Each structure stands twice: as structure tokens, then as C-alpha cells.
Structure 1
Amino acid sequence: MISAQDDLMGHQLPTTFDHVASSDPAWVERYWYSGHRVPEGDIVLDLGMGYYPNRNVMDCFAGVSCEGVQTNFRASRRLRGSPLATEVGPMRVEVLEALRRHRLVLAQNASGLAFDIRFEATTQVHEEEPHFRRRDGRVVEDMVRMGQFGRYAGWLEFQGRRVDLTPDRWWAQRDHSWGIRAGMHTDETRPPTLAYPPFFYVWGQIQFEEIGVHLYAQERAPGRMFYLSGELVGRLGEAPLRRARMTGFAQRITWADDPLGQTIRSGTFEFTLQDGGVRTMEITAMPARYFLKGGLYGGMAGWSHGDDRGPLHVEHDTWRHDDPEVRRVARTLGDHVVQARMDGKTGWGILEYGVGKGYPLYQDIQHFPAI
């Protein structure tokens, strides 16, 4: 069907913008945003929105974690009628100026979580290395992802509190991905769940005043990489950094004494860059962590990303991170706020991480799920 976007230049197919090149139901386009208060690292806000043109679905989530309490909001709608409106129930995402200014809104609703926030970009955009995989001859992943750093301004309400967000205290990061995305089914209420070979992975976005660090590393054993994408990016409006993409990566992690799951306490990352230089970054975990299962990553209680839940479906819940049953459901995948030190400078950002059974290091935490 014709939509407002069809009045713009840029068509890639002889059809309307609400169609994509592949009919694979795994085709998805997704926005993700995260932000946190600095220097305390005590509050983290996460939100995302997914567009599934071959499943006639758009869904979204938002959540806040503070002092070990996590509030989750989730919603889903059918696409047809307004296929490209980035809005699901009370939540919407507005691109005010591409690659520079976005607006994120969650209107008042039964969850008690609400916000009206502007994302203001501070750095140039990073484009990850391509994601392409086949399994048994079939393409199961063919997607691209871009990331960018920024600051938040606006207000946030949660758990009966109202917090004003100012750019000096609220640092943020976002990504935008599209294409065929591999499944990550970890919902034990709807078996079978996916089994993984041994691995360590870390995905992170960490921002300093002058540069940002994007990192995505996956390895079967220390130094045995099967995917690496990373780059140091400069500030918005300045000349791009030269030969600043990563060509090598090494890590050493110290784990927290957490009886309920995999939790980083601190670590050291070493990056080799295209120009031959080596940079070392020390990271320390901060209090706030948002478990992405609350946003349906991997599926939860029979609901997975892209599932048709009817014309409009909205739900919410509240988790305590010290509840063993919550942590059993939440698993490991989450956005954990960290403080970083590199080249004598201090920065903040988020890390996602996990260690799969059989990885040669960190065996004392491998009885917990890696994702």
C-alpha cells in the first residue's frame, strides 16, 4: 500500500516501501536505545521497536532498572493500515533529523513507566561488519547494524519517581539494524530452545568525551575469533578517524560473586587497530543492569519478537533482581552499565556478554545460561 514514505526518493524495489526484498518471516528492522545516569551508573533505560513486514507485526518494549528493581513494558500491533508508523499503543519513536536528533515517547500507561526524551547524537555513525550465516544450506542471517552515541534530554517516570534527564548527566547509545536476523530462542516455556557450541561474546558501546568505542567480539576460545567488528569513532561534525577499525581483540574478565547468574565485576579489553596501534581499556561494572528478556529477547512466556498478538496488545511487569525465579527467567543477556578507563580518560556505556559451556576460561560460571 502507498504510504508517506513512498513520496520520497530512495526506492530499491518496484513496489511500495512496506515491502522488502525477502519473503523470509525472519526479516526484521529494529531500533534500540539505551541510556544511563553518570557518574553513578545507577539507572539504566532501555527501549526498542521491531518492524516485521512479512509477519504483519510491529512490536516494542521499554524498561528501567534501578536499585535492583526492573520495570518492563511491552506492546504489539498489526501493521496493515499504518505499516510504517513507528508507534505501538502509547509508545512511539520519531526521527526528527536523521543521524542527529530523535524523540522517544512513552505516554502514561498502567505500567507506571513513561518518558518524553530527545536523543542528541554526539558521534559519527559506526557500521558493523556484515552479519551473514548459512545453516544446512539456508541463509539464517543476512543483516546490517549501525550504532551511534548521544545524550538524553527530557523526563522519565518510573516506580513512582520522576527524573529530569540532562545531557551532562545522561549518556546514551543506540543502534538500528535490518535484514534477516538469526533466531535466539531461549524461552523454556516453548521448547525446544537453541543449543550453542562453546563461546564467549561481548557487545559494547562505550563513550568518552572525545571518542566512542563500538565493539562486538565472538570467540570459541581465547584468540580464536569467529566474528569481530569494532571501531573508534570521532565526534559528530569532525573528520572521521583514520584506520580506526579493529583488527584484533583480547580480553580478561573478573566475575562477580553472583549466586544467581553470570555477572561481570571488571575486565580488560585490548584492541588492535588498522593502523597497527594497540589500545587498552579497563572496565568496571556499575550498579544498573537491564535484563533484555523483559523486552522479549529470546522470547518469554510463549511470546517472541514478531509474534502476532492481535490488533493491539499491551502488558507490563516488575522484577526484583534478587529473586531467584526472576533471574532464572531473565538469564544472562542484558545491558550492563560500565565505567571505562582508556588513555587516561573516563567514559561510560553498556556491555552485553555471556560465556557458553565448554569455553576454556571462566568455567566456574558456565552452569548459568550464557544468553
Structure 2
Amino acid sequence: MGGYRIEVIDPLRSLRLICEHPDLSMDLTWEGSFEAVLEDRHVLLEGTRPMLDASRFAQVGSWSGTLSVDGRDFRVDPDVWLGTRDRSWGIRPSGESDPPGRWAAEPREGFWWTYIPLRFDDYAMVVILQESPDGHRTLNHASRVFADGRIERLGWPRLEVDYRSGTRHPECARVHLTTPRGEPLLLEVETLGGVPLSMGAGYVGDPAWSHGRWMGRDWSESVTYDMTSPDVVGMLPFNVVDHVARATCNGDVGWGLFEHANMGRHEPSGFGGWGDMAE
């Protein structure tokens, strides 16, 4: 098990996360605020080859316990430390890279992705979208789950993102949803800082390691990134970034995640290639 382990206390409701390392340690308990949401099946093709064929559940909740970073201790108060989690299974890119072949000679034109799990006082919302460079939507899920377990599907979301000039950094977004009764529902999201997933998290693009790669028995590592370093700043436009999000919906205020990437060509956003940025 090593110094990192997860203990399931109550399936799909409560778990304990433990990490024991000189630089970073924690003993945290997760409590789901609402039932987990089963998202729609996610299939991603490279030409005719399936790169990803997976299912996933998402849940919003809160954390409690203790966290220590470089010798500094933090008390994790569940009234303040809100969070989201998801769990996926199926086929997805992981482990050692495939040898170069056809797809190396036919590089991807772009990658557009949006994932928005949010916790409000009386309900949770989950929106997950993916589109090809021409705007064709390959994944669409939008739902709202209430404390009594009711789930509403919220139609075919229309997303408007305001990017910071000269970048592809999303400053805010509006998600136009539709209730089961056909009524419009506007979700407004403001981003409040973020973490690039290709720096230390093991996602695609991480130069050091990736999910499923063999790093050696009993391997552990801690890494610190200077987010102002030119080497890091130069990678930011080519990342999936998890932004802390403040959201409003019909006067309700919620908090959660705005995970977004807009790389390369995406015609609905007005970007024609990898070097295009917002005006």
C-alpha cells in the first residue's frame, strides 16, 4: 500500500484518504453532499481507433481532517473545504505510450473539453462536454441532483466562454441549460485560479510521469512548480486546467470546479489553430 491509501467507509458516500510523506501528508475524510451522478458513456476516437471508451461517476461534497505541507499544518474544516470527485472505468490512455505510427504522422488538430461539477446548498450540478475541432459534440451530459435523490436532465447545454485577451484563459462562462419542463436555466461561472493537470498530476502531457506508468517499486516523489517560470508559463495554453469556480444559478450560489481546455482549432470559439489566442 505504501504511504498513500484510500479506505472506503460508506460506498459512494464516505471515504478516507491517507498520505504519509515528509513533504506532504494528510488524513482526510470525504463526505458526499448528494448522491453520485452516473455520467453518460464517453467514447473518443482518433480516426477509427478508440482512444477512450469509459464510464464515470461524479460527486460533490466536503473534506475534513488534517493536512501538512512542508511542515505547515492545516485544519480542514468541512464548512470551508468543499470539493468534487469522480471515478472512471473502462479503456483510456494510460501507461507507456504507443510506438509512433499513423497517428504520429496525422497529429490531432485540437482538443476542446469542459467539465463543471458544482455544489449548491440544495442541489448539485454536473455538466460535461466535449467537441471536435469543427464543433461537433461528441459528449454531452448535464444534470442536477437533489437531496432526495431526484435527478433532472438539463438538455443540450450551450456554452459561452469569455477568454482573457491574448490567451485562452477562461475568466468566466455562461451555460444555457433547459429544465425537463422546457424552461431556460442560466448557469454563470467565474474562475478563481487553477491547477494545470499536466504538472504533477500524471495526465497526458506531464513530462515526468503519467497514469499507469511503472516508476519502480516503492517510488514516491514530491515536486514544486513555480507558476511564474517561463518553462511553466509556456506550457499553460496546452493544458487541461482545473479552475476553482464560483457559480450562480437563479440566485443560488455554488462552488466547485470549472475544468476546461481549448487547444488548437475550435471553430465555434473562433480559433483556427494552435497559435490563435483571444482578441
Place the TM-score, normalised by the shorter chain, in its bin: 0.7 to 0.9
Stretch of structure 1 that moved more, 176-185 or 139-148: 176-185
Letter in 2 for 1:283: V
Q: Is the 8 A contact 1:218 1:226 kept in 2?
A: yes
Aligned residues: 269
* Whole-angstrom distance in 2 between the partners of 1:169 and 1:328: 33
When residues 205 and 368 of structure 1 are mapped into structure 2, their CA distance, relative to the original with a 3 A threshold, is: farther
What TM-score, normalized by structure 2, do the two folds share? 0.85
* Whole-angstrom distance in 2 between the partners of 1:185 and 1:205: 30
Q: Is the 8 A contact 2:35 2:149 kept in 1?
A: no
When residues 249 and 194 of structure 1 are mapped into structure 2, their CA distance, relative to the original with a 3 A threshold, is: farther
Q: Is the 8 A contact 1:262 1:332 kept in 2?
A: no
Q: Is the 8 A contact 2:51 2:91 kept in 1?
A: yes
Match of 1:354 in 2: 261
How far does residue 268 in structure 1 lie from its aligned partner after superposition?
0.8
> What SS does structure 2 have at the residue aligned with 1:305?
coil
Match of 1:166 in 2: 77
Letter in 1 for 2:15: H
Match of 1:283 in 2: 189
How far does residue 125 in structure 1 lie from its aligned partner after superposition?
1.2
Q: Is the 8 A contact 2:96 2:212 kept in 1?
A: no
When residues 263 and 274 of structure 1 are mapped into structure 2, their CA distance, relative to the original with a 3 A threshold, is: same
Q: Is the 8 A contact 2:13 2:35 kept in 1?
A: no
Stretch of structure 1 that moved more, 175-184 or 318-327: 175-184
* Whole-angstrom distance in 1 between the partners of 2:223 and 2:149: 45
Larger RCO: Structure 1 or Structure 2 (Cα < 8 Å, ≥ 6 residues apart)?
Answer: 1
Match of 2:8 in 1: 95
- After superposition, what is the alpha-carbon deviation per residue over 1:128-150, rounded to whole angstroms, capped at 9, x for unaligned? 11123555655432211001111
* Whole-angstrom distance in 1 between the partners of 2:136 and 2:259: 19
How does 1:14-53 map onto structure 2 within 5 Å? Answer: none
Match of 1:104 in 2: 17
Structure 1 gaps, min length 5? 1-86
- After superposition, what is the alpha-carbon deviation per residue over 1:106-136, rounded to whole angstroms, capped at 9, x for unaligned? 1132xx2211110011101111111235556
How far does residue 198 in structure 1 lie from its aligned partner after superposition?
4.2
**Structure 1 vs Structure 2: percent identity of aligned residues?**
24
1:297 aligns with 2:203: yes
How does 1:1-371 map onto structure 2 within 5 Å? Answer: 87=1, 89-109=2-22, 112-133=23-44, 135=46, 138-182=49-93, 195-220=107-132, 224-235=136-147, 238-241=148-151, 244-257=152-165, 262-287=168-193, 289-293=194-198, 294-301=200-207, 303-329=209-235, 331-360=238-267, 361-363=269-271, 366-367=274-275
When residues 354 and 134 of structure 1 are mapped into structure 2, their CA distance, relative to the original with a 3 A threshold, is: closer
* Whole-angstrom distance in 1 between the partners of 2:145 and 2:53: 24
* Whole-angstrom distance in 1 between the partners of 2:73 and 2:105: 39
* Whole-angstrom distance in 1 between the partners of 2:263 and 2:247: 25
